[in-house]
Amino acid sequence: MTTSDTPICPLCGRPIPPDVPQSLHHLIPRLKGGKNGPVVLLHHLCHKEIHAALTEAELARNFNTVEALRSHPRLARFIDWVRQRPPGFTSRTPGGQRKRR
């Protein structure tokens, strides 16, 4: 696989090496009607942070595009932090889980 074949994570903008955990994110959650909707390939770390920061309802209602996800304050801080790490970096999701209501 050449560098040009390596997918780029649309959230953090870093390459996703083939040996790094990755996952598909439904821009509209499956439980909120997005079963056959658009998906994006992300670092698993980035995907976990999205779900740690936002509820399914928030994702469906206000954060159903990559641009909207990037605009969320917690995710913007995460992106700034993770961009300083190499593409193959894996870690536990920083900051803990979202507060449940």
Domain boundaries, the chain: 3-82
First to last CA, the chain: 45
Q: Are 50 and 28 in contact (CB under 8 A)?
A: no
Task: Summarize pLDDT for 43-86 with one digit per residue, the tens.
Answer: 999 999 999 999 999 999 999 999 999 999 999 999 999 999 99
Handedness of CA 94, 95, 97, 98 (dihedral sign): negative
Looking at 23-72, list the stretches that DSSP marks H as alpha helix, in order from N- to C-terminal side: 44-53, 56-61, 66-71
Task: Summarize pLDDT for 1-30 with one digit per residue, the tens.
Answer: 445 689 999 999 999 999 999 999 999 999
**Per-residue DSSP letter, 22:** E
